[in-house]
Structure 1
């Protein structure tokens, strides 16, 4: 199994080759599951964040900045997916380090 790490700009920063014994093939399945779930968390982050920023701009025109932030639910729609992504990345790292 080859894992590639990318930085924020999308450039490849690291490549790791892993091999699992047959009795540890569950780790490969767990890593693939976590990567797939991470895709949906990113989708949630960018979709929710985009909608919240649009609502923030809309509410700023009518209310003060703090009321607009509260009404647009910007903090919730950004922090919740970031927390899920953080947990998911830690789980992937844990599975990789168990196999080394």
Structure 2
């Protein structure tokens, strides 16, 4: 095999391994460790009552909210479940995409590219703002359902 082909294969495998590692780490942080900055997590759910944990900006538990609903408002429980699930998926995507973009940014800077050119090539702005918009939208929806 040609030396350049081996080099390309190594780079692709290294990037793939890094993406898998960052994705797994982000999954563990969001779903298992409940690192949810300004987020919410459903602790328990009964027929007409839901207990929700809210977190502060650093991801530490801030409050526990007990929401009792009437029979006419039971649809809010399903909407709340969906919104919390969407929030977690969005945070996972945000952590994964921004971590990978930071990695690419560091590689571009080490190659000697100028800072703004490296930022543009790493796509860090898009990798952060797009998932962040979805996270903010989900948090707004959850807040509206709780209020």
- TM-score calculated relative to the size of structure 2: 0.63
RMSD: 1.1
Shift of 1:22: 1.5
Shift of 1:6: 1.5
CA distance in 2, matches of 1:60, 1:42: 26
Q: 1:40 aligned to 2:89?
A: yes
Q: Which one has a larger percent helix, Structure 1 or Structure 2?
A: 1
The residue that corresponds to 1:4 in the other structure is 53
Shift of 1:33: 0.3
- Partner SS state of residue 18, structure 1: strand
CA distance in 1, matches of 2:107, 2:59: 31
Match of 2:104 among 55, 61, 69: 55
Q: 1:23 aligned to 2:72?
A: yes
Give the stretch that moved more between structures: 31-40 or 9-18: 9-18
**5+ unaligned residues in a row in structure 2: which ranges?**
1-49
Where in structure 1 do 4 or more consecutive aligned residues deviate above 2 Å? 8-11
- Partner SS state of residue 69, structure 2: coil
- Bigger Rg, structure 1 or 2: 2
- TM-score calculated relative to the size of structure 1: 0.91
